[in-house]
Amino acid sequence: DELSLAALPACDTQAIIDDLADVYPQLIPAANVLETSLNNMNTVVHPLPVLLNAGRIESGEKFRHYFDGITPAVGDVVEQMDQERVAVGRAYGLDILSLRDAYVHYYHCQAERMSDLCHMAQAHASIMAPAVLDSRLVVEDVPMGLVPIAELGRAAGVPTPIMDAVITLCGALVKRDFRKEGRTLESLGIAGLDRDSLLAKL
């Protein structure tokens, strides 16, 4: 097992890993906090399946988030949105792990379709879909995950049309403006920085 860690500023990362080595020997250094943030897979496997299964959730149906909610079509859209996340990372010079590669790396799963990969990870077999639409899978992962990724993409000229649609529709679903309340580049204090200036700040 391994867990990437980055400090702010990144020059302190190794010292922190060394300090924690006895307690957390699985820590490995990441390039910066942008890498650890963009490598959060929850942003792609949580909100979109909730959005596309909203009718089932609202009806009170009990079903498994990964094994039932991520059907072949839903899985295909999840993977397309994941490609946007990876592209944003690459625009900032980061080697971001794709969701597909994460399943191979962490769960040793191999399959052609994303839905099959999601169904092969036994760690996810018993995870149920949320009982309400405004669960943390939406109200945390959209404003704190998808919004900053989409904003970083916009700043770097990387289109994120699926991510943008999920942000908008999830917000409409729960009657919240996630672009206004989320982690924007302005609220993070990095608005207006070009790529090199941002990386230097990190």
Distance from the Cα of residue 87 to its chain's centroid: 13
Choosing from 65, 82, 119, 141, which is the catalytic residue? 141
Report yes or no: 69 and 48 within 8 Å, Cβ to Cβ: no
Can you tell me the distance from the alpha carbon of 47 to that of 50, in angstroms, rounded to the nearest whole number? 5
Residue entry with tokens 């080697």: 95
Backbone region of residue 93 per phi and psi (left: phi > 0; alpha: psi in -120 to 50; beta: other values): left
Task: Determine the Cα–Cα distance for residues 27 and 124; give it in Å rounded to an integer.
Answer: 23
Give yes or no for a contact between 50 and 78, defined as CB atoms under 8 angstroms apart. no
Amino acid at 105: H
> Is 46 part of the annotated catalytic residue set?
yes
Contacts of 89 (CB under 8 A, 6+ apart): 34, 35, 38, 39, 95, 96
* Given the residues 1, 46, 95, 196, the one annotated as active site: 46
Catalytic residues: 46, 141
